[in-house]
Amino acid sequence: MLIYLLRRIIGAIPTVLGVALITFLLFNLVGGDPTYQMLGKHATAQQVAELRHEYGFDQPLITQFVDYLRQIVTFDFGRSYATKQQISAMISNGIGPSLTLAIPAFFVTTILAVVIALVVSYFRGRWVDKLGVVVCVVGMSLPSLAFILFGQYILAYQLGWFPISGWDNDFSDRWQYIAMPMLIWVLVSLGYDVRFFRTAILEETGQDYVRTARAKGLAEKVVFFKHVLKNSMVPIVTNVVLEIPLLVLGAFLLEGFFGIPGLGSITIDAVHNSDLPVLKAMTTLTSLLMIFGNLATDVVYTLVDPRVSLK
Protein backbone atom coordinates (compact mmCIF):
# COMPACT_ATOMS: atom_id res chain seq x y z
CA MET A 1 0.00 0.00 0.00
CA LEU A 2 2.80 2.42 0.92
CA ILE A 3 4.66 1.75 -2.34
CA TYR A 4 1.44 2.24 -4.31
CA LEU A 5 0.74 5.54 -2.55
CA LEU A 6 4.27 6.80 -3.20
CA ARG A 7 4.01 5.87 -6.89
CA ARG A 8 0.63 7.57 -7.24
CA ILE A 9 1.83 10.72 -5.47
CA ILE A 10 4.88 10.88 -7.73
CA GLY A 11 2.63 10.25 -10.74
CA ALA A 12 0.39 13.12 -9.64
CA ILE A 13 3.23 15.64 -9.91
CA PRO A 14 2.96 16.02 -13.73
CA THR A 15 -0.82 16.45 -13.34
CA VAL A 16 -0.32 19.19 -10.75
CA LEU A 17 2.21 20.91 -13.02
CA GLY A 18 -0.19 20.69 -15.96
CA VAL A 19 -3.05 22.15 -13.91
CA ALA A 20 -0.73 24.89 -12.62
CA LEU A 21 0.36 25.76 -16.17
CA ILE A 22 -3.20 25.96 -17.50
CA THR A 23 -4.34 28.02 -14.52
CA PHE A 24 -1.38 30.37 -14.90
CA LEU A 25 -2.03 30.88 -18.62
CA LEU A 26 -5.75 31.50 -18.05
CA PHE A 27 -5.19 34.15 -15.43
CA ASN A 28 -2.03 35.78 -16.80
CA LEU A 29 -2.62 35.73 -20.55
CA VAL A 30 -6.32 35.23 -21.29
CA GLY A 31 -7.41 37.39 -18.36
CA GLY A 32 -5.47 40.41 -19.56
CA ASP A 33 -3.45 42.89 -17.53
CA PRO A 34 -4.94 43.12 -14.01
CA THR A 35 -3.31 46.50 -13.31
CA TYR A 36 -5.98 48.32 -15.30
CA GLN A 37 -8.70 46.48 -13.39
CA MET A 38 -7.13 47.62 -10.12
CA LEU A 39 -6.35 51.24 -11.10
CA GLY A 40 -9.11 51.94 -13.60
CA LYS A 41 -8.91 53.16 -17.18
CA HIS A 42 -7.80 56.67 -16.17
CA ALA A 43 -4.58 55.52 -14.48
CA THR A 44 -1.36 57.19 -15.55
CA ALA A 45 1.54 55.30 -17.11
CA GLN A 46 3.62 55.87 -13.98
CA GLN A 47 0.93 54.40 -11.71
CA VAL A 48 0.63 51.38 -13.98
CA ALA A 49 4.39 50.85 -14.04
CA GLU A 50 4.68 51.14 -10.25
CA LEU A 51 1.86 48.69 -9.63
CA ARG A 52 3.19 46.21 -12.19
CA HIS A 53 6.58 46.33 -10.47
CA GLU A 54 5.00 45.96 -7.02
CA TYR A 55 3.14 42.76 -7.98
CA GLY A 56 5.84 41.42 -10.29
CA PHE A 57 3.80 41.76 -13.49
CA ASP A 58 6.82 43.25 -15.25
CA GLN A 59 8.82 40.06 -14.74
CA PRO A 60 9.22 37.49 -17.58
CA LEU A 61 6.43 34.91 -17.77
CA ILE A 62 8.75 32.05 -16.83
CA THR A 63 9.74 33.93 -13.67
CA GLN A 64 6.09 34.57 -12.82
CA PHE A 65 5.27 30.90 -13.38
CA VAL A 66 8.09 29.74 -11.11
CA ASP A 67 6.84 32.16 -8.48
CA TYR A 68 3.35 30.70 -8.88
CA LEU A 69 4.74 27.18 -8.33
CA ARG A 70 6.43 28.46 -5.18
CA GLN A 71 3.06 29.80 -4.03
CA ILE A 72 1.49 26.37 -4.53
CA VAL A 73 4.24 24.58 -2.60
CA THR A 74 4.25 27.08 0.28
CA PHE A 75 0.50 27.74 0.07
CA ASP A 76 1.24 31.46 0.16
CA PHE A 77 -0.69 33.18 -2.63
CA GLY A 78 0.10 36.72 -1.52
CA ARG A 79 -2.53 39.33 -0.71
CA SER A 80 -5.99 39.97 -2.02
CA TYR A 81 -6.36 42.92 -4.38
CA ALA A 82 -9.67 43.90 -2.79
CA THR A 83 -9.18 43.34 0.95
CA LYS A 84 -5.34 43.44 1.16
CA GLN A 85 -5.51 40.40 3.44
CA GLN A 86 -3.23 37.39 3.20
CA ILE A 87 -5.06 34.90 0.99
CA SER A 88 -3.84 31.94 3.03
CA ALA A 89 -5.39 33.53 6.12
CA MET A 90 -8.66 34.15 4.24
CA ILE A 91 -8.77 30.49 3.21
CA SER A 92 -7.97 29.31 6.74
CA ASN A 93 -10.74 31.47 8.18
CA GLY A 94 -13.23 30.30 5.56
CA ILE A 95 -12.64 26.55 5.88
CA GLY A 96 -14.34 26.34 9.28
CA PRO A 97 -17.72 27.84 8.26
CA SER A 98 -17.71 25.86 5.00
CA LEU A 99 -17.08 22.55 6.76
CA THR A 100 -19.62 23.37 9.47
CA LEU A 101 -22.27 23.43 6.77
CA ALA A 102 -20.85 20.82 4.41
CA ILE A 103 -19.97 17.91 6.69
CA PRO A 104 -23.38 17.40 8.39
CA ALA A 105 -25.20 17.97 5.09
CA PHE A 106 -22.92 15.51 3.29
CA PHE A 107 -23.38 12.69 5.81
CA VAL A 108 -27.14 13.18 6.05
CA THR A 109 -27.44 13.23 2.25
CA THR A 110 -25.29 10.12 1.78
CA ILE A 111 -27.08 8.06 4.43
CA LEU A 112 -30.54 9.05 3.21
CA ALA A 113 -29.60 8.46 -0.43
CA VAL A 114 -28.27 4.94 0.26
CA VAL A 115 -31.33 4.01 2.32
CA ILE A 116 -33.81 5.38 -0.23
CA ALA A 117 -31.92 3.77 -3.13
CA LEU A 118 -32.02 0.42 -1.36
CA VAL A 119 -35.77 0.70 -0.78
CA VAL A 120 -36.68 1.70 -4.35
CA SER A 121 -34.29 -0.90 -5.78
CA TYR A 122 -35.76 -3.66 -3.63
CA PHE A 123 -39.25 -2.77 -4.91
CA ARG A 124 -38.09 -2.36 -8.50
CA GLY A 125 -40.94 -1.78 -10.94
CA ARG A 126 -43.54 -1.27 -8.21
CA TRP A 127 -45.23 1.97 -7.26
CA VAL A 128 -42.60 2.71 -4.59
CA ASP A 129 -39.85 2.59 -7.20
CA LYS A 130 -41.80 4.62 -9.75
CA LEU A 131 -42.74 7.28 -7.19
CA GLY A 132 -39.13 7.50 -6.02
CA VAL A 133 -37.84 7.97 -9.56
CA VAL A 134 -40.41 10.69 -10.29
CA VAL A 135 -39.56 12.58 -7.08
CA CYS A 136 -35.83 12.31 -7.85
CA VAL A 137 -36.27 13.63 -11.39
CA VAL A 138 -38.37 16.54 -10.14
CA GLY A 139 -35.77 17.35 -7.48
CA MET A 140 -32.96 17.21 -10.04
CA SER A 141 -34.90 19.43 -12.46
CA LEU A 142 -35.47 22.26 -10.01
CA PRO A 143 -32.52 24.66 -9.71
CA SER A 144 -30.95 25.14 -6.31
CA LEU A 145 -31.95 28.81 -6.46
CA ALA A 146 -35.62 27.75 -6.37
CA PHE A 147 -35.04 25.82 -3.14
CA ILE A 148 -33.17 28.79 -1.65
CA LEU A 149 -35.89 31.32 -2.47
CA PHE A 150 -38.62 28.96 -1.22
CA GLY A 151 -36.74 28.37 2.03
CA GLN A 152 -36.02 32.02 2.69
CA TYR A 153 -39.48 33.31 1.78
CA ILE A 154 -41.78 30.53 3.04
CA LEU A 155 -39.87 28.77 5.81
CA ALA A 156 -37.95 31.76 7.15
CA TYR A 157 -39.98 34.90 6.34
CA GLN A 158 -43.57 33.60 6.31
CA LEU A 159 -43.37 30.80 8.91
CA GLY A 160 -40.40 32.08 10.93
CA TRP A 161 -38.96 28.62 11.44
CA PHE A 162 -35.40 29.68 10.58
CA PRO A 163 -33.38 32.92 10.40
CA ILE A 164 -33.34 34.32 6.86
CA SER A 165 -29.56 34.64 6.93
CA GLY A 166 -26.70 35.32 9.31
CA TRP A 167 -23.80 33.76 11.12
CA ASP A 168 -22.56 33.39 14.68
CA ASN A 169 -18.90 32.79 15.45
CA ASP A 170 -19.92 30.92 18.61
CA PHE A 171 -19.92 27.25 17.63
CA SER A 172 -22.87 26.38 19.87
CA ASP A 173 -25.09 29.16 18.46
CA ARG A 174 -24.38 28.89 14.75
CA TRP A 175 -26.60 25.83 14.22
CA GLN A 176 -29.73 27.93 13.91
CA TYR A 177 -28.14 29.64 10.90
CA ILE A 178 -26.98 26.47 9.11
CA ALA A 179 -30.16 24.41 9.69
CA MET A 180 -32.00 25.72 6.63
CA PRO A 181 -28.93 25.79 4.31
CA MET A 182 -28.21 22.20 5.35
CA LEU A 183 -31.83 21.20 4.63
CA ILE A 184 -31.62 22.79 1.18
CA TRP A 185 -28.26 21.11 0.50
CA VAL A 186 -29.84 17.72 1.28
CA LEU A 187 -32.88 18.37 -0.92
CA VAL A 188 -30.78 19.58 -3.84
CA SER A 189 -28.30 16.67 -3.68
CA LEU A 190 -30.65 13.83 -2.79
CA GLY A 191 -32.23 13.37 -6.23
CA TYR A 192 -28.95 12.85 -8.09
CA ASP A 193 -27.46 10.57 -5.42
CA VAL A 194 -30.55 8.36 -5.19
CA ARG A 195 -30.70 7.97 -8.99
CA PHE A 196 -26.98 7.12 -9.15
CA PHE A 197 -27.06 4.67 -6.24
CA ARG A 198 -30.25 3.02 -7.56
CA THR A 199 -28.63 2.49 -10.96
CA ALA A 200 -25.50 1.00 -9.37
CA ILE A 201 -27.57 -1.41 -7.28
CA LEU A 202 -29.83 -2.47 -10.14
CA GLU A 203 -26.84 -3.20 -12.38
CA GLU A 204 -25.69 -5.79 -9.88
CA THR A 205 -29.08 -7.51 -9.72
CA GLY A 206 -28.63 -8.69 -13.31
CA GLN A 207 -25.25 -10.34 -12.73
CA ASP A 208 -24.72 -14.11 -12.97
CA TYR A 209 -23.87 -14.56 -9.30
CA VAL A 210 -27.28 -13.12 -8.35
CA ARG A 211 -29.09 -15.63 -10.55
CA THR A 212 -26.93 -18.41 -9.10
CA ALA A 213 -27.75 -17.34 -5.54
CA ARG A 214 -31.45 -17.31 -6.31
CA ALA A 215 -31.22 -20.71 -8.01
CA LYS A 216 -29.68 -22.12 -4.83
CA GLY A 217 -32.79 -21.08 -2.94
CA LEU A 218 -31.44 -18.11 -0.99
CA ALA A 219 -34.06 -15.70 0.26
CA GLU A 220 -34.48 -12.52 -1.78
CA LYS A 221 -33.54 -10.33 1.19
CA VAL A 222 -30.34 -12.32 1.74
CA VAL A 223 -29.40 -12.05 -1.94
CA PHE A 224 -30.16 -8.34 -2.03
CA PHE A 225 -28.62 -7.10 1.21
CA LYS A 226 -25.72 -9.55 1.56
CA HIS A 227 -24.54 -9.93 -2.04
CA VAL A 228 -25.97 -7.19 -4.26
CA LEU A 229 -25.38 -4.35 -1.81
CA LYS A 230 -21.81 -5.43 -1.07
CA ASN A 231 -20.82 -5.62 -4.74
CA SER A 232 -22.53 -2.35 -5.67
CA MET A 233 -20.49 -0.42 -3.11
CA VAL A 234 -17.58 0.24 -5.51
CA PRO A 235 -19.43 2.77 -7.73
CA ILE A 236 -21.23 4.14 -4.68
CA VAL A 237 -17.96 4.71 -2.83
CA THR A 238 -16.45 6.25 -5.96
CA ASN A 239 -19.23 8.82 -6.10
CA VAL A 240 -19.04 9.54 -2.37
CA VAL A 241 -15.25 9.88 -2.15
CA LEU A 242 -15.09 12.13 -5.21
CA GLU A 243 -17.56 14.49 -3.51
CA ILE A 244 -15.45 14.78 -0.35
CA PRO A 245 -12.76 17.17 -1.74
CA LEU A 246 -15.46 19.60 -2.85
CA LEU A 247 -16.85 19.79 0.70
CA VAL A 248 -14.01 22.13 1.63
CA LEU A 249 -15.40 24.68 -0.81
CA GLY A 250 -18.90 24.39 0.61
CA ALA A 251 -21.78 25.54 -1.58
CA PHE A 252 -21.28 28.87 -3.35
CA LEU A 253 -24.94 29.85 -3.63
CA LEU A 254 -25.89 28.69 -0.14
CA GLU A 255 -23.04 30.56 1.52
CA GLY A 256 -23.71 33.67 -0.56
CA PHE A 257 -27.47 33.79 0.07
CA PHE A 258 -27.33 32.87 3.75
CA GLY A 259 -24.38 35.05 4.75
CA ILE A 260 -22.07 32.18 5.72
CA PRO A 261 -18.46 33.47 5.63
CA GLY A 262 -17.01 30.34 4.04
CA LEU A 263 -14.85 29.70 1.00
CA GLY A 264 -17.88 29.92 -1.27
CA SER A 265 -18.59 33.47 -0.15
CA ILE A 266 -14.91 34.36 -0.52
CA THR A 267 -14.93 33.07 -4.10
CA ILE A 268 -18.15 34.91 -5.02
CA ASP A 269 -16.77 38.16 -3.58
CA ALA A 270 -13.56 37.62 -5.55
CA VAL A 271 -15.56 37.22 -8.77
CA HIS A 272 -17.50 40.42 -8.09
CA ASN A 273 -14.31 42.34 -7.31
CA SER A 274 -12.18 40.77 -10.08
CA ASP A 275 -9.82 39.66 -7.32
CA LEU A 276 -7.54 37.50 -9.46
CA PRO A 277 -5.13 36.25 -6.74
CA VAL A 278 -8.05 34.87 -4.70
CA LEU A 279 -9.63 33.27 -7.77
CA LYS A 280 -6.28 31.76 -8.75
CA ALA A 281 -5.81 30.37 -5.24
CA MET A 282 -9.32 28.86 -5.14
CA THR A 283 -8.89 27.32 -8.60
CA THR A 284 -5.59 25.77 -7.56
CA LEU A 285 -7.06 24.50 -4.29
CA THR A 286 -9.98 22.87 -6.10
CA SER A 287 -7.66 21.18 -8.59
CA LEU A 288 -5.38 19.80 -5.89
CA LEU A 289 -8.33 18.49 -3.89
CA MET A 290 -9.70 16.68 -6.94
CA ILE A 291 -6.31 15.12 -7.76
CA PHE A 292 -5.84 13.74 -4.26
CA GLY A 293 -9.53 12.84 -4.06
CA ASN A 294 -9.00 10.49 -7.02
CA LEU A 295 -6.03 8.97 -5.20
CA ALA A 296 -8.15 8.43 -2.09
CA THR A 297 -10.83 6.77 -4.23
CA ASP A 298 -8.39 4.14 -5.53
CA VAL A 299 -7.23 3.38 -2.00
CA VAL A 300 -10.80 3.03 -0.68
CA TYR A 301 -11.54 0.54 -3.49
CA THR A 302 -9.39 -2.08 -1.75
CA LEU A 303 -11.26 -1.61 1.51
CA VAL A 304 -14.65 -2.08 -0.14
CA ASP A 305 -13.85 -4.79 -2.68
CA PRO A 306 -11.02 -7.27 -1.95
CA ARG A 307 -11.03 -8.26 -5.65
CA VAL A 308 -9.46 -4.89 -6.50
CA SER A 309 -5.68 -4.96 -6.23
CA LEU A 310 -3.33 -2.02 -6.14
CA LYS A 311 -0.64 -2.32 -8.78
Architecture per CATH, domain 98-304, reads as Orthogonal Bundle (1.10)
CB contact burial 201-234 (16+ within 10 A = b; e otherwise): bbebbeeeebeebeeeeeeeeebbeebbbebbbb
Q: What is the pTM of this model?
A: 0.75
pLDDT at 292: 77
In whole angstroms, what is the distance from residue 192 CA to residue 236 CA?
12
| Residue 8 banded pLDDT, cuts 50, 70, 90 | confident
Q: DSSP character for 251?
A: -
pLDDT at 139: 80
- Tell me the DSSP string of 7-21: HHHHHHHHHHHHHHH
Q: Tell me the pLDDT tens digit for each residue of 116-161.
A: 888 888 777 788 878 888 888 888 888 878 888 888 888 888 888 8
How far, in whole angstroms, is CA 62 from its chain's centroid?
Answer: 31
Q: Tell me the pLDDT tens digit for each residue of 229-265.
A: 777 777 777 777 777 766 766 677 788 788 888 888 8
Q: Tell me the pLDDT tens digit for each residue of 32-75.
A: 566 666 666 666 777 777 777 777 777 777 888 888 888 888 88
Q: What is the mean pLDDT of the chain?
A: 78
Nearest to 266 by CA among 39, 97, 31, 72: 97
Q: 100: helix, coil or strand?
A: helix
Question: Does residue 311 register a pLDDT over 60?
Answer: no
All structural domains of the chain with their residue ranges: 2-74, 98-304
Helix axis angle for 276-304 and 233-247, nearest 10°, is 150
Question: Does residue 310 register a pLDDT over 60?
Answer: no
Q: Tell me the pLDDT tens digit for each residue of 207-231.
A: 777 778 778 777 777 777 777 777 7
List, in sequence order, the alpha helices (H) in the chain: 2-25, 34-39, 45-55, 61-74, 87-122, 127-141, 144-150, 175-205, 208-215, 220-222, 229-231, 233-247, 252-258, 263-272, 276-304
